[in-house]
Amino acid sequence: MPVRWISNVRLPHASRCSHGSGRRWRLGVDAQGLITRVLPLEPGSCAAGDDWGGDWLSPAGVDLQINGGLGLAFPELEPADLPRLLELLDLLWADGVEAISPTLVTCGVEPLRQALAVLRQARLQHRPGRCQLLGAHLEGPFLAAARRGAHPAHHLAAPSLEALNERIKGFEAEIALVTLAPELEGAEAVIDALRQQGIVVSLGHSAATEAQAEWAFSKGVGMLTHAFNAMADLHRRAPGPVAAAVLRGDVALGLIADGVHVAPSMAVLLQRLAPEQVLLVSDALGPYGLKEGRHSWDERVLLVEDGSCRLEDGTLAGVTLPLLEGVTRLARWSGEPGRAIAAATLVPRRVLGERRTLQQLLLGRPLAGTLRWSAGPDGDLRWRRWPEAAP
């Protein structure tokens, strides 16, 4: 069977090693458009094939924290919203996102269960060329009141197995991630129950100290939800959960790279401290895909300006920027495009349990499902899909 070769390709990496950014690769693509070979290209080699000139190739993005879009807020989903939900998944695919963990912020029990049921129906309608719905991300309700941010206080709950089962019984296999404050009384039993079911637990909206975070990580908490936001900052005398996660080395660090939630210099510092742990998320809200201005969110109003969403009292609530815009911004700030790409495409898969190397992940994958990244006229990263990815 004839093979088409693509040469002089770079692959994204999250490694601390610097040699990964300069290594070039050669890819073989069969007549069905599937990647069948991923081979290192020796320095100075003039191997035959389409020369990509050092452009990057990656899987599409995976967003583990996205709250809605096209006017839909995931916790408010009703059966009648299914067509628009599918339209949103098509938009996400067009925006370079292959899969999402739909995030359900703190809400009432019945709306939560209804939303999980609608998401279950939407999963049954998945098709190629549409963003895939992974298990849901429950952001709450077991959060610290003082760190709740935009989460409604009247729906917060104390952690307990009873409260957990009330919300997710019957949907356990459709939950991928739960954000909670591990320092709350009763959280240990909830963490244990979630981990026994293979659900990732993330520290977020938490007042945890460094020591409390270390304890939580020892119990199986494997991620920070939007690092630096709704938790203690890095401080010379009170390092907090971010320092504990970086020093441990195996805790994913969710990061919103809009330049507002976290200053660009702090985002770059975090990735330089822990390049294999930084995980880009969009934290996009319901107005994603719509015009800026005033939008409703439950019984409240969201004010959207320059991609940022705030409540009327000024509380920062989220963004409307696509996930891959965070890649572009982080790459611009850091000068490390390979690591920025990996943070939105490779690290999220690692959090969900993927252990194959990137080369192994690419084998058998349609080239049409991958992204080609190159520098635009302004020097910023740009991505495109096949056949647009063709030289």
Each residue's pLDDT tens digit, 166-207: 999 999 999 999 999 999 999 999 999 999 999 999 999 999
Q: So what's the pLDDT on residue 20?
A: 54
Could you tell me if 280 and 330 are in contact, meaning their C-beta atoms sit under 8 angstroms apart? yes
- Nearest Cα neighbor of 348 from 196, 176, 124 is 176
pLDDT band at 388 (very low <50, low <70, confident <90, very high): low
Range of the domain at 380: 4-59+358-384
389 pLDDT tier (thresholds 50, 70, 90): very low
β-partners of residue 63 are 100
Say yes or no: 196 and 66 in one domain. Answer: yes
55 and 149 share a domain?
no
Q: Is residue 88 part of a domain?
A: yes
Residue 390 domain flag = no
Nearest to 391 by CA among 29, 45, 20: 29
Say which of 233, 283, 298, 306 is annotated catalytic.
Answer: 283
Indicate if 68 and 55 belong to the same structural domain.
no
Bridge partners of 10? 56
- Checking if the pLDDT of 280 tops 90, the result is yes
Q: Among the listed ranges 38-47, 123-132, 313-322, 327-336, which one has the minimum average pLDDT value?
A: 38-47
21 and 120, same domain (yes or no): no
User: Exposed, middle or buried, 42 (CB in 10 Å: 0-12/13-18/19+)?
Assistant: exposed
What is the per-residue pLDDT for 109?
97
pLDDT above 60: residue 70: yes
- What per-residue confidence (pLDDT) applies to 17? 62
391 found inside a domain:
no
Residue with token string 């647009």: 388
What is the pLDDT, as a whole number, of residue 71? Answer: 94
371 and 340 together in one domain: no
Looking at residues 44-65, what average pLDDT do you find? 88
**Same domain (yes/no): 9, 131:** no
pLDDT at 59 over 80: yes
Do 175 and 158 share a structural domain? yes
**30, 3 Cβ separation under 8 angstroms:** yes
Do 36 and 122 share a domain, yes or no? no
Same domain, 95 and 146: yes
Question: What is each CA distance from 96 to 11, 132, 219, 253, 278, in whole angstroms?
Answer: 17, 12, 35, 22, 19
- Look at residue 114 in the predicted model and tell me its pLDDT: 98
Give pLDDT, residue 239. 94
The pLDDT, as a whole number, for residue 359 is 95
Q: For residues 153 and 69, state if they share a domain.
A: yes
The count of structural domains within the chain is 2
Instruction: Answer yes or no: do 221 and 183 share one domain.
Output: yes
Residue 76 domain-assigned (yes or no): yes
- The stretch 334-362 carries a mean pLDDT of 96
Residue 389 forms part of a structural domain: no
Is 283 among the residues known to form the active site? yes
For residue 179, being part of any structural domain is answered with: yes
pLDDT at residue number 167: 98
Q: Is residue 234 part of a domain?
A: yes
Q: Does 285 score more than 70 pLDDT?
A: yes
What is the domain-level CATH number for residue 146?
3.20.20.140
Higher pLDDT, 62 or 388: 62
Residue 207 within a domain: yes
CB atoms within 10 A of CB 157: 18
**pLDDT tops 90 at residue 376:** no
Q: Which CATH number belongs to the domain containing residue 30 in this structure? A: 2.30.40
CA dist 199 and 191 (Å) reads 9
Inform me whether the pLDDT recorded for 80 exceeds 90. Answer: yes
Residues 337 and 211 in one domain: yes
Average pLDDT of 155-161? 97
Q: What pTM did the predictor assign?
A: 0.95
Confidence at 217, pLDDT banded by 50, 70, 90? very high
Mean pLDDT, residues 302-319 taken together: 90
Is 390's pLDDT higher than 50?
no
Which is more confidently placed, 58 or 379? 58
**Rounded distance between C-alpha atoms, residue 272 and residue 307, angstroms:** 26
Is residue 158 scored above 90 in pLDDT?
A: yes
